[in-house]
Structure 1
């Protein structure tokens, strides 16, 4: 079976993905973030066009079920911007929901991945701060079951960048998910090189996301962290995303936004770490991280 990346306009060959923002949000809402909703399709389109103008060709939206992903709007945004969009199913931490769904989570996730219109192309779940609470264990188990049913990649929000090894143990050891089907997000928020190295040695993809968001005081460690992991033999597991979660963070609203990845971060990586590594991070690695042998 040939692997494919499931976008909102259909499955595409990995070679067609192009330069990818591996973790972002076009739409988002949560009772834990009142007044910070992303819910404007026109603003989402403007942000996509700013990214495309710099050579961006793909965006993975990690907004899961119940957090206002507006997946029904994504196909037209993809058509108008020329950017491949990967939608998410899954579930975030319990605090982000006024109510939880009825019925088995696995069934919900599998439906979104195989029968919804448009179909999701990844499963987004979350850990807790420095541990896995009952909700996290429940949603991670459902994500593992949905992965085994579909081969979809599992993208994990690590709260404050923590509990990466706990997540890997639960998914890989307890639920037998191959580590290369897992994307660990927010790792730079807890810049422990030993944890990064151990997570990389498992075979998982490592996502460094949210550059220049005001509360991320560890951004200055990004290039050093990428260099250390690449030197240790993990260049093919590194991903970057903008993780835009508020309207004011968009490039079209005087924030860094999606465009910052290609306008500022990519040139620095090319200059300081080499064009080959930049190509892996933005093009080659996402094409493998998001590809699946869909069932």
Structure 2
């Protein structure tokens, strides 16, 4: 069965799925000084899009998803394009609001599966920083097997678990605790790797040493590192590789996202290198500037634009079905 915020469903009831989205989030802890004066109006607006794309972490309101009516409208649009489900991966450190998700699912018609976890060390609330490994494992176990605290539904998987360029002690505790809890529950775990390091094999070893099978590990946003050899090594070890499309902004001097054209070439290179790699896709919307209402690509970008390009590039229907439907079903399904 696959756990959604509206209750369990059979795997065959899950259609086209984005494996990494944020619907209600607060990432204001990542605010940094802009490279130019910020707009006088502190609220995000379409006219601020140029500023935001050049200073992506420079406007606090851009880093907060706090308008459920906008989220619902954008999800409805994605449903109309043929998308069926999203995995909501907002973990502690990014301001999750788990109780708000059932109403969003009902109003939008989008199935929502929750990933429950803790993000990178510098973003974490005090209760995570001081929690023991056993306490974190029990919290993860409760979310998977009983209910997500404050809700009546269970998590489908664990994530998004954050790791820094040098894995912090609290991040290591969370990795080990999540691996044990997920192994007990038959669940998958999604991992955020720091783009400035090459720690994928190390993180995978930490997880498997605690009993988690590599095929239950998802490395998210691997498009942050355009290194086919490095990423393919994780795929060859059995982990799932997730590529997220739709954001092409600058974070600072010499620091920017890849373009979708680059991501598409990267994905096609991975598929050519090993057609059997386990790959899933997403948009990883986590800011207002990525929403259609504010001039971004929106949650529907994956199905509405990226999938048609992949079809034109010769990616066949069976491979697309594997990435968009079959693999998400396998990762989210558990006893």
Q: How does 1:171-210 map to 2 (within 5 A)?
A: 171-172=207-208, 174-210=209-245
Pairing partner for 1:10 from 7, 20, 25: 7
Structure 2 counterpart of 1:22: 19
Q: Distance in 2 between matches of 1:279 and 1:252?
A: 29
Per-residue deviation, residues 133-188 of structure 1 (Å, max 9, x unmatched): 3222111011112112212210001122742111111112x222101100001111
In the TM superposition, residue 217 of structure 1 has moved relative to its aligned partner by: 2.3
In the TM superposition, residue 234 of structure 1 has moved relative to its aligned partner by: 4.0
Structure 2 counterpart of 1:269: 310
In the TM superposition, residue 210 of structure 1 has moved relative to its aligned partner by: 4.0
In the TM superposition, residue 86 of structure 1 has moved relative to its aligned partner by: 0.8
Structure 2 counterpart of 1:43: 70
Say whether residues 1:168 and 2:166 are aligned partners. no
Pairing partner for 2:325 from 274, 277, 283: 283
Q: How does 1:14-163 map to 2 (within 5 A)?
A: 14-30=11-27, 31-33=29-31, 34-35=60-61, 36-65=63-92, 67-101=94-128, 102=131, 104-116=135-147, 117-124=152-159, 125-129=161-165, 131-160=166-195, 162-163=198-199
Work out the number of aligned pairs and report it: 288
Comparing 177-186 with 65-74, greater Cα deviation is found at: 65-74
In the TM superposition, residue 236 of structure 1 has moved relative to its aligned partner by: 5.5
Structure 2 counterpart of 1:227: 268
Compare CA radii of gyration and give the structure with the larger one. Answer: 2
Q: Structure 2: where are the runs of 5+ without partners? A: 32-59, 250-255
**CA contact under 8 A between 2:247 and 2:290: conserved in structure 1?**
no
**CA contact under 8 A between 1:209 and 1:242: conserved in structure 2?**
yes
Q: Distance in 2 between matches of 1:99 and 1:210?
A: 32
In the TM superposition, residue 257 of structure 1 has moved relative to its aligned partner by: 1.7
RMSD of the alignment, in Å?
Answer: 1.8
Q: Distance in 2 between matches of 1:196 and 1:289?
A: 19
Q: Distance in 1 between matches of 2:3 and 2:275?
A: 25
Give 3-state SS (helix, strand or coil) of 2:127's partner.
Answer: coil
Runs of 4 or more, structure 1, over 6 Å off, are: none
Give 3-state SS (helix, strand or coil) of 1:69's partner.
Answer: coil
Q: Distance in 2 between matches of 1:199 and 1:236?
A: 9
TM-score by length of structure 2 reads: 0.81
In the TM superposition, residue 230 of structure 1 has moved relative to its aligned partner by: 2.2
Q: Distance in 2 between matches of 1:65 and 1:113?
A: 16
**CA contact under 8 A between 1:72 and 1:118: conserved in structure 2?**
no
In the TM superposition, residue 263 of structure 1 has moved relative to its aligned partner by: 1.4
Inter-CA distance 194–218: structure 2 relative to 1 (3 Å threshold): farther
Q: Distance in 2 between matches of 1:245 and 1:235?
A: 30
In the TM superposition, residue 50 of structure 1 has moved relative to its aligned partner by: 1.4
Inter-CA distance 236–14: structure 2 relative to 1 (3 Å threshold): farther
